Amino acid sequence: MGRWRRVSVVALVLLLFSACHGRELFVKNHEQSFIYDHTLAKTLVEYASAVYMTDLTALYTWTCSRCNDLTQDFEMRSLIVDVENCLQAFVGVAHNLNAIIVAIRGTQENSVQNWIKDLVWKQLDLSYPNMPNAKVHSGFFSSYNNTILRLAITSAVHKARETYGDINIIVTGHSMGGAMATFCALDLAINLGRDDVQLMTFGQPRVGNAAFASCFAKYVPNTIRLVHGHDIVPHLPPYISFLPHLTYHHFPREVWVHDSEGNTTEQICDASGEDPNCCRCLSILSLSIQDHFTYLGVDMEADDWSTCRIITAQSVERFQKDLASNIIMKNHDVDVSIVGGSEDRRNSFR
Ligand SMILES: *[C@@H]1O[C@H](CO)[C@@H](O)[C@H](O)[C@H]1NC(C)=O
Ligand SMILES: *[C@@H]1O[C@H](CO)[C@@H](O)[C@H](O)[C@H]1NC(C)=O
């Protein structure tokens, strides 16, 4: 199958990059402040999975097939859709966690395989504003910063804080959604002046260089990147251990979930961001795409990958009909921001 041929090309490129093991770059982090909460991870993975759903009515009313279990008491506050760029996010309040949740979905448009293949060649082509030497990939950054996401998410977070006060803020996402969640968490931490914004991502790629990782860890120390088994995406774009200052570099902290002799281990990795004993210890040739699509037993795919734009446009249309005919019942305000559909709308519905 073509899928596997492409993956082995990626694996071979990685093999070239990783042929030599140099010294590890150490990213400063406060060891004592680190907590990994398995139940929280189980809950957040359900939010990161739910944001993939294409039925907007079911998301808005929080009745989708993935909108239950540990996320049952979620109060949707803002639903954000950018049809053109295939972006989707929501902001709301998880009462059982007493926290504002921001979830951003991945954007692999037509083919995940091609998206993964392209990850190998992403350049560090943007200097992160106001961070000396910090470089990131402009595509990852601008998907958050230069689209509807930034404005809609920050204003939804501000509004939720007006209602609920100074409760925790947790940002989550899977895959490319994890990359955008990274920039979102950093943005919120800087703009709200808080060092307790939490980030938990699932199978995210690297997004910046070592200087960025180090700065990021100071602003958002409460960060966990879950990596499932042999998932190939967290290995991309490549980290070159003998050129640690020039290449991509993960920020801490990885939690590597893998099976060993029939038991599932959640291995908490070191504060370097590139722990050689965590997922990086895998043979490059054993990396897989399959492990990218389930995290903690939860399905992390959209209901339909291949036709992102079409499905979203259709569901936007149906959603707008449902809104117009008042089929949707809600006992509180939900902001809806949709751009790039048949018509743009930013509105508040009761
Ligand atoms: C990020 O977005 C803001 C507006 O929301 C814009 O002023 C700024 O230039 C953007 N940053 C970059 C580096 O594109
Ligand atoms: C796996 O779990 C079983 C039951 O809890 C235990 O007896 C066994 O030692 C574990 N194996 C490993 C390799 O940790």
47-97 pLDDT, tens digit per residue, is 999 999 988 999 999 999 999 999 999 999 999 999 888 899 999 999 999
Is residue 247, in this structure, part of any structural domain at all?
Answer: yes
| Residue found under tokens 């210890």 | 281
What is the pLDDT, as a whole number, of residue 86? 84
| Residue found under tokens 């929501």 | 90
| Residue found under tokens 């402009």 | 138
175 noted as active-site residue: yes
CA of 212 to the centre of ligand 1 (A): 17
What is the pLDDT, as a whole number, of residue 309? 62
pLDDT at position 236 over 70 = yes
Quick: pLDDT tens for 251-309: 999 999 998 888 899 999 999 999 999 999 999 899 999 999 999 999 998 776 555 66
Is residue 93, in this structure, part of any structural domain at all?
Answer: yes
Is residue 222, in this structure, part of any structural domain at all?
Answer: yes
Q: Is the pTM of this model over 0.85?
A: yes
Mean pLDDT of 210-230: 97
Is residue 24, in this structure, part of any structural domain at all?
Answer: no
CA of 139 to the centre of ligand 1 (A): 13
Torsion of CA 349, 66, 87, 134, to 10 degrees: 120
The answer to whether the CB of 263 is under 6 A from ligand 2 is: yes
* C-beta atoms surrounding 216 within 10 Å: 28
Beta strands in the chain (DSSP E): 74-82, 87-94, 99-104, 126-127, 135-136, 168-174, 198-202, 223-228, 254-260, 263-268, 294-295, 298-299, 334-339, 345-349
Q: Which of 269, 249, 248, 271 has its CA nearest to residue 258? A: 269
Ligand 2 pocket check: which of 260, 263, 265 to mutate, most ligand atoms within 8 Å of Cβ?
A: 263
Domain that holds residue 98: 2-12+33-329
Is residue 311, in this structure, part of any structural domain at all?
Answer: yes
Q: Which ligand is nearest to the CA of 125?
A: 1
The answer to whether the CB of 259 is under 6 A from ligand 2 is: no
How many structural domains comprise the chain?
Answer: 1
Minimum CA distance residue for ligand 2 atom 4: 263
pLDDT at position 26 over 80 = no
Q: Which of 344, 336, 339 has its CA nearest to residue 76? A: 336
Is residue 190, in this structure, part of any structural domain at all?
Answer: yes
Is residue 341, in this structure, part of any structural domain at all?
Answer: no
CA of 315 to the centre of ligand 1 (A): 30
| Residue found under tokens 């083919």 | 111
What is the pLDDT, as a whole number, of residue 328? 80
The answer to whether the CB of 261 is under 6 A from ligand 2 is: yes
pLDDT at position 25 over 50 = no
* Angle at 225 (CA atoms; ends 221, 227), nearest 5 degrees: 160
The Cα–Cα gap between 325 and 320 comes to 9
Minimum CA distance residue for ligand 2 atom 10: 263
What is the pLDDT, as a whole number, of residue 314? 79
| Residue found under tokens 């993960």 | 250
CA of 261 to the centre of ligand 2 (A): 8
Quick: pLDDT tens for 125-152: 999 999 999 999 999 999 999 999 999 9
**Identified catalytic residue from 143, 187, 214, 231:** 231
* Angle at 254 (CA atoms; ends 248, 260), nearest 5 degrees: 120
Q: Which residues contact 166 (CB under 8 A, 6 or more apart)?
A: none
Is residue 23, in this structure, part of any structural domain at all?
Answer: no
Quick: pLDDT tens for 326-340: 778 777 789 999 887
Which CATH number belongs to the domain containing residue 55 in this structure? 3.40.50.1820
What is the pLDDT, as a whole number, of residue 38? 96
Q: Which ligand is nearest to the CA of 265?
A: 2
